[in-house]
A and B are shown apart, each in its own frame.
Chain A
Amino acid sequence: MVVAEIKPFKEIKDTLKHYKKVLIVGCGACVTVCLSGGRKQVELLASALKTSRKVEGDEIMVGEMLIPRQCEPKFVDMIKGEAGKYEVILSMGCGAGVQEIAERIENIPVLPALNTTFIGMADEKGQYLEVCAACGDCILSKTGGICPVARCAKSLINGPCGGSRGGMCEVSKDNPCVWQLIYDRLVKLNMLHLLKGISQPKTRSVHPRRMVREDLTSKK
């Protein structure tokens, strides 16, 4: 999933200080799973904003909506009618969600309530770990399904740097050395031979990347 975290409340409040009518839009996909932009978080943010502005004697009208996925045009179109009643949209989606809304709703500004951090998974309750760098050149078949590009501080693809201590990374000390994990997994799979052979340096992609599906774009 795309992992995101909610911005500090003060920052959100500051970006909204000139607005009196705000529509907060949550997203039912990744950010719901990582508990940063789902229904519950929309409710909490809305009530926090209302309370804090009320205390300051500067009341605000806050609308709340949740759509299944902010990165999909047909779902964003669902909020078009309601959005017309507000001065600003505060998206609780990832960066793609914010931009999809901005693309579809041209006359109202869209602000982000989240910082999009990485593609990851939950490894413990309330803890999320980056596991995919979206490098566009997947080598997981050679590394026992564990990605050194995303999970090694130096993105080393030919084996570890030699700096691990007790199996932990020397740079990012709370994380295990990913090459240790890869080794352990390949031992279990009896596939240590995969470690042999030199991996070529990665081809770097130029931003922004675009994927074209000929089968879907070609005219029938």
Chain B
Amino acid sequence: MGFREALDSGKFLVTAEVGPVKGTETDVLLEDAELLKGKVDAVNVTDLQSSVMRLGSMAVCHLLVDHGIDPVFQVTCRDRNRLALQSDLLSAWVLGIRNVLSLTGDHPTLGDHPDAMPVFDLDSVSLLRAISRLNEGFDMAGNQLKGAPDFFPGAVVNPGADNEAALEMQIVKMEKKIEAGAKFFQTQGIFDLDLFEKFMKRVEGLKTTVLGGIILLKSAGMARFMNKNVAGVFVPEPLIKEMEETKDKVKTSVKIAAELVKGMKGLCQGVHIMAIGWEKRVPMVLEEAGLKEKDILRVNNAQSFDCWRRGCRDSYRVSPQEKRISYCWHS
């Protein structure tokens, strides 16, 4: 059972996120992932986040698959033209990666190689369209594929856009993303549930799945930094104060995140927790928010089996105890 099946089941979704390191060190990352196993429905792997050169998303996603975790392969348009993007998607599929998140990507000038050539041959919308096309068995040029993937594509939206025009355009773009094939949305980090509720009301008619973004606050300084530098993130002053005055930063951070998770339960279809280095604390957040493990599909020790339906190339994932002749989620 993977993310797609969890989404179809209608349960409250939980995804988390890991960021590969600069280098080949994967032990810590896999340790963190191991702690998330069975507690979340999928784990996103960022694609050179903040335009900083590091280990790639595809390789780490593949490692997660090997560890029985369903990854969400984040793909940005910053570094690859349409040839490389499509090829990487096909490569990801044969490595067992099933979910893709389409993003425009940060500009290289914001990262550690500011002189790198920005590509942006496609954008997040046309990349979704390319994914849909690959799923249909064709590349962007209309050539037929020998063996097609069946990705579950998603996208992002920023409900915290700081003025009416910017927010309106986020929603217009969200509609385009749905038209281009996005099946779910993960949002930028949210701290103000009232604003988020207003946003969800506005996109209600789009009938799509939204996972509200939750960022673990590590300190008051981090909150202030984000307010100043990260578009769409606004941490209200009372929360900053709470972080400032607390004696136990972890406890307070977990409490704040858990409150947000609880608050989102009635507003959207799931949460996407960005722990930014505090991945080990994600299970504490889920526990405090009252998301019991029984609510979450067990993917522990899951293995992949081919679907028995004729002509279907999909696979399904069940734990060894449940092993039986079965069909993929299509059936």
Residues of A within 8 A of B (CB): 153-167, 170-171, 177, 179-180, 183-184, 187, 195-198, 200-201, 204
Which residues from 150 to 183 on chain B have a C-beta closer than 8 Å to any C-beta of chain A? 156-158, 161-163, 165-166, 168-170, 172-173, 175-176, 179-180
Partner of A167 from the list B165, B176, B188 (CB cut-off 8 Å) is B165
Additional 19 contacts, C-beta under 8 A, given A164-B166, A165-B162, A180-B165? A153-B107, A154-B118, A154-B120, A156-B120, A156-B123, A158-B173, A159-B125, A159-B172, A160-B173, A162-B170, A162-B188, A162-B232, A163-B106, A164-B231, A166-B162, A166-B163, A179-B166, A180-B166, A201-B121
Which residues of chain B come closer than 8 Å to A162, judged between CB atoms?
104, 156-158, 161, 166, 170, 173, 188, 231-232
Which residues of chain A come closer than 8 Å to B188, judged between CB atoms?
162
Which residues from 99 to 121 on chain B have a C-beta closer than 8 Å to any C-beta of chain A? 104, 106-107, 109-110, 118, 120-121
Interface magnitude class on chain B:
35 or more
Complex: A197 Cα to B126 Cα, angstroms: 12
**B166 shortest CB reach to chain A, Å:** 6
Which residues of chain A come closer than 8 Å to B110, judged between CB atoms?
170-171
**A76 shortest CB reach to chain B, Å:** 35
Using known A-B contacts A179-B169, A183-B165, determine if residue A198 contacts B129 with beta carbons closer than 8 Å.
yes
Output the residue of A183, A196, A197 with the most chain B CB within 10 A. A183
Contact, CB under 8 Å: A201 / B126: yes
Contact, CB under 8 Å: A159 / B173: yes
Complex: A177 Cα to B168 Cα, angstroms: 14
Using known A-B contacts A154-B107, A198-B176, A200-B126, determine if residue A160 contacts B120 with beta carbons closer than 8 Å.
no
Which residues of chain B come closer than 8 Å to A158, judged between CB atoms?
123-126, 173, 176
Report the tally of A-B residue pairs with Cβ distances under 8 A.
92
Contact, CB under 8 Å: A171 / B166: no
| B6 located at the interface, meaning its Cβ lies under 8 Å from any Cβ of chain A in the complex | no
Contact, CB under 8 Å: B169 / A160: yes
| B82 located at the interface, meaning its Cβ lies under 8 Å from any Cβ of chain A in the complex | yes
Complex: A4 Cα to B129 Cα, angstroms: 39
Using known A-B contacts A162-B161, A164-B231, determine if residue A195 contacts B169 with beta carbons closer than 8 Å.
yes
Using known A-B contacts A161-B104, A163-B231, determine if residue A155 contacts B120 with beta carbons closer than 8 Å.
yes
Closest B residue, CB atoms, query A195 = B172
Contact, CB under 8 Å: A159 / B126: no
Contact, CB under 8 Å: A201 / B122: yes
Closest A residue, CB atoms, query B126 = A201
Which residues of chain A come closer than 8 Å to B106, judged between CB atoms?
163
**A12 shortest CB reach to chain B, Å:** 26
Complex: A174 Cα to B157 Cα, angstroms: 25
**A35 shortest CB reach to chain B, Å:** 29
Closest B residue, CB atoms, query A170 = B231
Contact, CB under 8 Å: A165 / B118: no
Which residues of chain A come closer than 8 Å to B157, judged between CB atoms?
162
A-B residue pairs in contact (CB < 8 Å), sample of 12: A153-B118, A157-B123, A158-B126, A159-B169, A159-B176, A162-B156, A162-B158, A163-B231, A170-B107, A171-B109, A196-B175, A198-B129
